[in-house]
Amino acid sequence: MRFFDAQNPVERLALAVGVEADRQRPMPQLQREEAVRQILQTAADAGVSRVATKPEGDGERLLGLGWPFPSPFRVSVRTVPVNDGVDRAEARARRSLEHMGLPRGDTVLVQAATDLVGEDGRALWARLQGLKDRGLFRRIGFIASIEDSPAVLARRFRPDVVQLPCNVLDQRAVSTGILDQLAEQDVAVHLSSVFAKGLLFSAMETLPPEMGRMVPQLSRIRRRLAEARVDPMQAALSYTLRQEGVECVIAKVHSAAQLRAIIAASHAPCPDMDWKALSLEANAVSSRFGVVAA
Protein backbone atom coordinates (compact mmCIF):
# COMPACT_ATOMS: atom_id res chain seq x y z
CA MET A 1 0.00 0.00 0.00
CA ARG A 2 1.41 3.40 -0.98
CA PHE A 3 -0.78 6.47 -0.56
CA PHE A 4 1.91 9.13 -0.76
CA ASP A 5 1.57 11.32 -3.87
CA ALA A 6 3.44 14.60 -3.75
CA GLN A 7 1.65 15.81 -6.88
CA ASN A 8 -1.81 15.85 -5.29
CA PRO A 9 -1.47 16.98 -1.66
CA VAL A 10 -4.99 18.40 -1.37
CA GLU A 11 -6.47 15.03 -2.27
CA ARG A 12 -4.90 13.71 0.92
CA LEU A 13 -6.44 16.35 3.19
CA ALA A 14 -9.45 15.63 5.38
CA LEU A 15 -11.38 18.35 7.17
CA ALA A 16 -12.62 18.41 10.74
CA VAL A 17 -15.04 21.33 10.60
CA GLY A 18 -15.58 23.44 13.72
CA VAL A 19 -16.96 26.96 13.62
CA GLU A 20 -16.89 27.78 17.34
CA ALA A 21 -13.22 28.73 17.60
CA ASP A 22 -14.01 31.53 20.07
CA ARG A 23 -16.33 30.16 22.75
CA GLN A 24 -16.50 33.53 24.49
CA ARG A 25 -18.07 35.08 21.41
CA PRO A 26 -20.25 32.36 19.89
CA MET A 27 -21.65 32.86 16.40
CA PRO A 28 -25.39 33.27 15.82
CA GLN A 29 -26.92 30.08 14.44
CA LEU A 30 -27.49 31.34 10.90
CA GLN A 31 -23.95 32.66 10.78
CA ARG A 32 -22.62 29.26 11.86
CA GLU A 33 -24.63 27.53 9.14
CA GLU A 34 -23.27 29.91 6.53
CA ALA A 35 -19.70 29.51 7.80
CA VAL A 36 -19.93 25.71 7.46
CA ARG A 37 -21.48 26.06 4.00
CA GLN A 38 -18.59 28.29 2.89
CA ILE A 39 -15.99 25.89 4.28
CA LEU A 40 -17.53 22.93 2.48
CA GLN A 41 -17.88 24.79 -0.80
CA THR A 42 -14.29 26.03 -0.59
CA ALA A 43 -13.14 22.48 0.07
CA ALA A 44 -15.16 21.06 -2.81
CA ASP A 45 -13.85 23.71 -5.21
CA ALA A 46 -10.25 22.93 -4.17
CA GLY A 47 -10.61 19.16 -4.55
CA VAL A 48 -10.72 18.20 -0.88
CA SER A 49 -12.87 15.09 -0.70
CA ARG A 50 -12.82 13.91 2.94
CA VAL A 51 -14.58 15.11 6.09
CA ALA A 52 -13.98 13.71 9.59
CA THR A 53 -16.74 14.19 12.17
CA LYS A 54 -17.41 13.75 15.89
CA PRO A 55 -20.78 12.96 17.53
CA GLU A 56 -20.71 16.18 19.55
CA GLY A 57 -23.00 19.20 19.65
CA ASP A 58 -24.75 20.08 16.41
CA GLY A 59 -21.69 19.76 14.17
CA GLU A 60 -23.10 16.85 12.16
CA ARG A 61 -26.41 18.62 11.64
CA LEU A 62 -24.59 21.73 10.39
CA LEU A 63 -22.70 19.59 7.91
CA GLY A 64 -25.99 18.11 6.72
CA LEU A 65 -27.32 21.59 6.06
CA GLY A 66 -24.15 22.72 4.31
CA TRP A 67 -23.21 19.97 1.83
CA PRO A 68 -22.80 21.24 -1.74
CA PHE A 69 -24.90 19.36 -4.27
CA PRO A 70 -23.88 16.87 -5.40
CA SER A 71 -21.63 16.27 -2.39
CA PRO A 72 -18.10 15.11 -3.30
CA PHE A 73 -17.19 14.14 0.27
CA ARG A 74 -16.33 10.83 1.85
CA VAL A 75 -17.29 11.07 5.51
CA SER A 76 -15.87 9.31 8.55
CA VAL A 77 -17.75 9.22 11.87
CA ARG A 78 -16.82 8.17 15.40
CA THR A 79 -18.66 6.02 17.87
CA VAL A 80 -19.58 7.33 21.28
CA PRO A 81 -17.80 5.68 24.25
CA VAL A 82 -18.92 2.11 24.80
CA ASN A 83 -19.51 2.72 28.54
CA ASP A 84 -23.26 2.96 27.94
CA GLY A 85 -23.36 -0.26 25.94
CA VAL A 86 -22.86 -1.48 22.41
CA ASP A 87 -26.51 -0.83 21.50
CA ARG A 88 -26.08 2.89 22.07
CA ALA A 89 -22.73 2.96 20.27
CA GLU A 90 -24.24 1.31 17.19
CA ALA A 91 -27.38 3.45 17.27
CA ARG A 92 -25.37 6.66 17.57
CA ALA A 93 -23.25 5.75 14.54
CA ARG A 94 -26.45 5.29 12.54
CA ARG A 95 -27.79 8.59 13.86
CA SER A 96 -24.64 10.38 12.70
CA LEU A 97 -25.59 9.50 9.13
CA GLU A 98 -29.16 10.66 9.74
CA HIS A 99 -27.99 14.00 11.16
CA MET A 100 -25.87 14.60 8.07
CA GLY A 101 -28.58 13.47 5.66
CA LEU A 102 -26.39 10.68 4.28
CA PRO A 103 -27.58 7.20 3.23
CA ARG A 104 -24.11 5.79 3.98
CA GLY A 105 -20.67 6.85 5.14
CA ASP A 106 -17.14 5.98 4.19
CA THR A 107 -15.72 4.97 7.59
CA VAL A 108 -16.88 4.43 11.16
CA LEU A 109 -14.16 4.53 13.81
CA VAL A 110 -14.19 3.29 17.39
CA GLN A 111 -13.59 6.54 19.27
CA ALA A 112 -10.76 5.12 21.42
CA ALA A 113 -8.72 1.94 21.17
CA THR A 114 -9.31 1.35 24.88
CA ASP A 115 -12.96 0.56 24.05
CA LEU A 116 -11.76 -2.46 22.07
CA VAL A 117 -9.64 -3.95 24.82
CA GLY A 118 -12.45 -3.78 27.36
CA GLU A 119 -15.04 -6.49 28.00
CA ASP A 120 -17.36 -5.10 25.29
CA GLY A 121 -14.63 -4.71 22.70
CA ARG A 122 -15.41 -7.77 20.61
CA ALA A 123 -19.15 -7.11 20.72
CA LEU A 124 -18.63 -3.49 19.64
CA TRP A 125 -16.40 -4.56 16.77
CA ALA A 126 -18.99 -7.12 15.65
CA ARG A 127 -21.67 -4.41 15.58
CA LEU A 128 -19.50 -2.18 13.39
CA GLN A 129 -18.73 -5.11 11.13
CA GLY A 130 -22.48 -5.58 10.82
CA LEU A 131 -22.91 -1.95 9.74
CA LYS A 132 -20.24 -2.51 7.11
CA ASP A 133 -21.83 -5.74 5.92
CA ARG A 134 -25.17 -3.94 5.51
CA GLY A 135 -23.55 -1.22 3.41
CA LEU A 136 -23.99 1.66 5.87
CA PHE A 137 -20.22 2.16 6.01
CA ARG A 138 -17.59 1.10 3.53
CA ARG A 139 -14.86 0.63 6.15
CA ILE A 140 -14.39 0.26 9.90
CA GLY A 141 -11.46 1.09 12.16
CA PHE A 142 -10.36 2.69 15.39
CA ILE A 143 -8.66 5.78 16.82
CA ALA A 144 -5.54 5.13 18.88
CA SER A 145 -2.69 6.84 20.68
CA ILE A 146 0.89 5.67 20.33
CA GLU A 147 0.66 4.14 23.80
CA ASP A 148 -2.20 1.88 22.64
CA SER A 149 0.20 -0.23 20.50
CA PRO A 150 -2.00 0.29 17.41
CA ALA A 151 -0.07 -2.11 15.17
CA VAL A 152 -0.56 -4.93 17.69
CA LEU A 153 -4.25 -4.07 18.02
CA ALA A 154 -4.57 -4.01 14.23
CA ARG A 155 -3.24 -7.57 14.00
CA ARG A 156 -5.95 -8.61 16.44
CA PHE A 157 -8.94 -6.82 14.88
CA ARG A 158 -7.86 -6.38 11.23
CA PRO A 159 -9.29 -2.86 10.73
CA ASP A 160 -9.55 -1.09 7.41
CA VAL A 161 -8.46 2.23 8.95
CA VAL A 162 -6.48 3.41 11.98
CA GLN A 163 -6.34 7.07 13.04
CA LEU A 164 -3.22 8.23 14.90
CA PRO A 165 -1.77 11.52 16.16
CA CYS A 166 1.35 12.68 14.36
CA ASN A 167 3.03 16.04 13.88
CA VAL A 168 6.48 17.61 13.63
CA LEU A 169 6.69 17.94 17.41
CA ASP A 170 5.51 14.39 18.13
CA GLN A 171 7.05 12.12 15.49
CA ARG A 172 6.66 8.84 17.36
CA ALA A 173 4.26 7.32 14.80
CA VAL A 174 7.15 7.54 12.34
CA SER A 175 10.19 6.99 14.58
CA THR A 176 8.76 3.87 16.25
CA GLY A 177 7.90 2.28 12.90
CA ILE A 178 4.15 2.20 13.57
CA LEU A 179 3.30 3.66 10.16
CA ASP A 180 5.40 1.00 8.44
CA GLN A 181 3.88 -1.78 10.53
CA LEU A 182 0.34 -0.69 9.69
CA ALA A 183 1.19 -0.37 5.99
CA GLU A 184 2.51 -3.93 6.04
CA GLN A 185 -0.92 -5.02 7.29
CA ASP A 186 -2.63 -3.11 4.47
CA VAL A 187 -4.25 -0.71 6.94
CA ALA A 188 -5.08 2.82 5.78
CA VAL A 189 -3.73 5.45 8.21
CA HIS A 190 -5.35 8.80 8.99
CA LEU A 191 -3.18 11.31 10.85
CA SER A 192 -4.67 13.72 13.40
CA SER A 193 -3.28 16.50 15.62
CA VAL A 194 -1.11 17.58 12.71
CA PHE A 195 -0.86 21.15 14.03
CA ALA A 196 0.16 19.91 17.51
CA LYS A 197 -2.91 21.56 19.03
CA GLY A 198 -1.51 24.98 18.19
CA LEU A 199 1.88 24.64 19.91
CA LEU A 200 3.67 25.74 16.75
CA PHE A 201 1.60 28.91 16.61
CA SER A 202 0.75 29.87 20.21
CA ALA A 203 2.54 32.75 21.89
CA MET A 204 4.96 31.44 24.51
CA GLU A 205 3.40 33.54 27.25
CA THR A 206 0.02 31.88 26.68
CA LEU A 207 1.27 28.33 27.26
CA PRO A 208 0.14 26.59 30.48
CA PRO A 209 2.61 26.80 33.38
CA GLU A 210 3.11 23.01 33.23
CA MET A 211 4.71 23.45 29.83
CA GLY A 212 7.40 25.80 31.04
CA ARG A 213 10.17 23.22 30.54
CA MET A 214 9.17 22.87 26.89
CA VAL A 215 9.51 26.57 26.08
CA PRO A 216 13.28 26.46 25.29
CA GLN A 217 12.79 23.56 22.88
CA LEU A 218 9.81 25.21 21.22
CA SER A 219 11.79 28.44 20.87
CA ARG A 220 14.65 26.61 19.19
CA ILE A 221 12.27 24.83 16.80
CA ARG A 222 10.58 28.08 15.84
CA ARG A 223 13.95 29.70 15.31
CA ARG A 224 15.00 26.88 12.98
CA LEU A 225 11.84 27.39 10.95
CA ALA A 226 12.33 31.15 10.82
CA GLU A 227 15.94 30.78 9.70
CA ALA A 228 14.83 28.40 6.95
CA ARG A 229 12.04 30.85 6.01
CA VAL A 230 9.45 28.13 6.50
CA ASP A 231 6.00 28.98 7.82
CA PRO A 232 4.94 26.71 10.75
CA MET A 233 1.78 25.68 8.91
CA GLN A 234 3.80 24.77 5.84
CA ALA A 235 6.17 22.72 7.98
CA ALA A 236 3.32 20.93 9.76
CA LEU A 237 1.61 19.96 6.52
CA SER A 238 4.81 19.11 4.64
CA TYR A 239 5.92 16.73 7.37
CA THR A 240 2.64 14.81 7.55
CA LEU A 241 1.70 14.87 3.87
CA ARG A 242 5.08 13.44 2.88
CA GLN A 243 4.69 10.31 5.01
CA GLU A 244 4.27 7.14 2.97
CA GLY A 245 1.51 4.76 4.01
CA VAL A 246 -0.76 7.64 5.03
CA GLU A 247 -4.13 7.91 3.33
CA CYS A 248 -5.12 11.31 4.68
CA VAL A 249 -4.11 14.11 7.02
CA ILE A 250 -6.89 15.64 9.13
CA ALA A 251 -6.85 19.42 9.48
CA LYS A 252 -9.31 21.17 11.78
CA VAL A 253 -10.73 24.32 10.21
CA HIS A 254 -12.87 27.12 11.62
CA SER A 255 -13.41 29.26 8.55
CA ALA A 256 -13.14 29.29 4.77
CA ALA A 257 -10.24 31.76 5.04
CA GLN A 258 -8.32 29.36 7.28
CA LEU A 259 -9.02 26.52 4.87
CA ARG A 260 -7.66 28.56 1.97
CA ALA A 261 -4.46 29.13 3.96
CA ILE A 262 -4.17 25.40 4.65
CA ILE A 263 -4.68 24.56 0.99
CA ALA A 264 -2.05 27.09 -0.06
CA ALA A 265 0.41 25.72 2.50
CA SER A 266 -0.20 22.15 1.35
CA HIS A 267 0.71 23.13 -2.20
CA ALA A 268 3.93 24.88 -1.14
CA PRO A 269 7.15 23.02 -2.05
CA CYS A 270 8.34 20.66 0.66
CA PRO A 271 11.16 22.44 2.51
CA ASP A 272 14.55 20.82 2.86
CA MET A 273 14.50 20.39 6.63
CA ASP A 274 16.13 18.20 9.23
CA TRP A 275 12.74 16.99 10.42
CA LYS A 276 14.11 15.07 13.40
CA ALA A 277 15.53 18.33 14.75
CA LEU A 278 11.96 19.67 14.99
CA SER A 279 10.78 16.90 17.31
CA LEU A 280 10.33 17.51 21.00
CA GLU A 281 11.94 15.00 23.32
CA ALA A 282 9.63 12.04 23.82
CA ASN A 283 9.45 12.63 27.58
CA ALA A 284 8.35 16.21 26.96
CA VAL A 285 5.35 15.15 24.91
CA SER A 286 2.27 14.59 27.02
CA SER A 287 -1.39 14.22 26.13
CA ARG A 288 -2.12 16.42 29.16
CA PHE A 289 -0.82 19.30 27.07
CA GLY A 290 -2.83 18.34 23.99
CA VAL A 291 0.13 17.52 21.78
CA VAL A 292 -0.83 13.95 21.05
CA ALA A 293 -4.57 13.95 21.65
CA ALA A 294 -6.42 12.38 18.74
Tell whether 3 is covered by a domain: no
- Residues 8, 46: Cα–Cα separation, whole Å: 11
Tell whether 57 is covered by a domain: yes
Strand partners, 248: 190
25 secondary structure, DSSP code = S
Tell whether 1 is covered by a domain: no
Tell whether 61 is covered by a domain: yes
When divided into structural domains, the chain yields a total of 1
Nearest to 179 by CA among 190, 193, 195: 190
- Residues 282, 275: Cα–Cα separation, whole Å: 15
- Residues 112, 228: Cα–Cα separation, whole Å: 38
Q: Give the domain CATH number at 75.
A: 3.20.20.100
Name the pTM for this structure: 0.90
pLDDT value at position 7? Answer: 62
What does each of the 294 residues of the chain score in pLDDT, given as a tens digit? 444 444 688 999 999 998 765 566 677 889 999 999 999 999 999 999 999 999 998 999 999 999 998 889 999 999 999 998 999 999 999 999 999 999 999 999 999 999 999 999 999 999 999 999 999 999 999 999 999 999 999 999 999 999 999 999 999 999 999 999 999 999 999 999 999 888 888 777 777 777 777 888 888 898 899 888 999 999 999 999 999 889 999 999 999 999 999 999 999 888 888 999 899 864 454 443 344 333
* Residues spanned by the domain of 15: 9-289
Non-local (6+) Cβ contacts of 197 within 8 A are 289, 290, 291, 293
Tell whether 294 is covered by a domain: no
pLDDT value at position 167? Answer: 95
**CB neighbour class for 23 (10 Å; exposed up to 12, middle 13-18, buried from 19):** exposed
Tell whether 142 is covered by a domain: yes
pLDDT value at position 272? Answer: 86
Tell whether 229 is covered by a domain: yes
